[in-house]
Structure 1
């Protein structure tokens, strides 16, 4: 029997799915992780060299002088080539999620595999899951315990060509936009790059506060919509608010730990 291939989105999902094999040995197989964050940055022509160059330049700008730059510049191009080499006899299990990063990663994966006849199964994830502190909407497997993940195997279903085509078309539409920020509202929506500015300002006061606190609290505020921990984008927007004269600052406008901001007096 051919062992399955598991495709996950994000490092936490990769680790926890691997740990779930101990609870459900029938799941055991190779794991391939897709980690590129497609919720931010240009996507137009990302399948061509010019588009990838433009995306890299923009991400390099917002991540300049920060330790998050390698994360921002991570690319899944080499990983797609590995997936394309999988034979049709090997079952591929895709651990889909309801968060922005997983959703976009899945749609692009469908586009990259559009010309291949592969044996794909996708997770029809539950609407809610039970956590130690209560029942909450399902976001992605990276937030579940390995034992919970092991029980999701019964929710995988074969992905037909008609449904694949729908996902491919969704990606084509998304990647033809010039937006820089995408958020999850049941479906992926394009929003202005200043969409989160007001939420950042709401966390500012007349006294200087560390930017790390402001970014962290804003991430918590938007978790249900954005559902991706990209503090780098919020750090960039906070610095842009300073440059636009909407906030005062002290320190150096590099990492979020390097400066504090307050409302303009």
Structure 2
């Protein structure tokens, strides 16, 4: 069995899992050590396209400790390993619901198009959700590299999540790959169940927003060490685009006068940044371009924080993203802190009359949402997303 994974982290964790299952001698791993949500894909299955992508990555990635060199070497090794696959080989591709692994899946299947092989895949997003997430404990993974070796072992042993790829499915995915390779975009995201291409500066405003948050927690004139801002963005961004791309955009914002910096840009460890006066006023869009053109707020109960989400991309919105007065915000806050009180974490079950409590919570949420609609109309579309927690217990 050959396992195809997308990323060195996934390869390392899977290797450990196979070793613990004593299957490392009969299983081989081919790692596509790249991030396919970023960078050009134009004719990537051809030598010229591969060279152009490497040149783009050279401009974006750090080569501290030889990291970029390792990626280039890994690319050549991966292509050679694919060529050496023999007919009749069983191959399992590990993918998930994110732009990086969905692109990787199509790339891998295209490279295997001349091979007479037994091909299957496992969707780690679905498998992880069904095997590990519960009504009270949930972890949303952005890509398989976030899954521990212990959990990868469980995923692999749960054979019901491994699905064969039919001839028709292979052809469909190959054609979809060719469609991606006709585009010259350098950033892709997972949105509404599919991979879409977006402008390279899609998350610039989000970077500025996170920098403002850090400035508010520190002295305003203080510089922020670059890795801290990158970590803040990675920790909150629902897309997987890698820290190198985030730093690449930070450098672009420095060049645009959004950030001031001190230090040397040779590595993120060697320079710090702070928003300039111009950068403090910078705000292209809140979370996605659709929100800018058509502000759409969903009100949804949640544990802690403001219960606002973008109705387009589902990103969490903060109070300064929604023009709401103090009185109305206080009502929403007092309503939201009641969320989840129908559940007893110690018994892992509903409290007595829990279903009625949730029903009343939703009724109050609908009433408050109508009040918000009147306040925001006609500039904003506002909808209420009801809690359906107790349905899992009834």
TM-score, scaled relative to structure 1:
0.86
Give the aligned CA root-mean-square deviation in angstroms: 2.6
Confirm whether residue 29 of structure 1 aligns to residue 46 of structure 2: no
Alignment of 1:37-48 (within 5 A): 37-48=35-46
Which among 200, 222, 231 is matched to residue 193 of structure 1?
200
Alignment of 1:158-169 (within 5 A): 158-169=164-175
Partner residue, 1:211: 226
Taking a change above 3 Å as real, the CA distance of residues 234 and 71 of structure 1, as seen in their structure-2 partners, is: farther
- Cα distance in 1 for residues equivalent to 2:240 and 2:61: 20
- Cα distance in 2 for residues equivalent to 1:240 and 1:198: 12
Runs of 4+ in structure 1 displaced over 6 angstroms? none
Deviation at 1:244, TM superposition (A): 0.9
Deviation at 1:124, TM superposition (A): 4.0
Deviation at 1:117, TM superposition (A): 1.8
- Cα distance in 2 for residues equivalent to 1:40 and 1:34: 14
The structure that is helix-richer by fraction is 2
Deviation at 1:25, TM superposition (A): 4.9
- Cα distance in 2 for residues equivalent to 1:26 and 1:246: 52
TM-score, scaled relative to structure 2:
0.60
Where structure 2 has 5 or more consecutive residues not aligned to the other structure, the ranges are 278-394
Taking a change above 3 Å as real, the CA distance of residues 119 and 214 of structure 1, as seen in their structure-2 partners, is: same
- Cα distance in 2 for residues equivalent to 1:81 and 1:65: 23
Alignment of 1:110-189 (within 5 A): 110-125=109-124, 127=126, 128=129, 129-130=131-132, 134-153=137-156, 154=159, 155-185=161-191, 186-189=193-196
Greater relative contact order (CA < 8 Å, ≥ 6 in sequence): 1
Partner residue, 2:107: 108
Aligned residues: 259
- Cα distance in 2 for residues equivalent to 1:26 and 1:80: 24
Report the more deviating stretch, 63-72 or 184-193: 63-72
Taking a change above 3 Å as real, the CA distance of residues 22 and 47 of structure 1, as seen in their structure-2 partners, is: closer
Conserved? CA contact 1:249–1:260, under 8 Å:
yes
- Cα distance in 2 for residues equivalent to 1:123 and 1:148: 14
Where structure 1 has 5 or more consecutive residues not aligned to the other structure, the ranges are none
Confirm whether residue 255 of structure 1 aligns to residue 267 of structure 2: yes
Which among 220, 242, 255 is matched to residue 243 of structure 1?
255
Deviations 1:13-53 (A, max 9, x none): 22222232355457852222221222222211223333233
Larger Rg: 2
Alignment of 1:82-101 (within 5 A): 82-101=81-100
Deviation at 1:74, TM superposition (A): 5.3
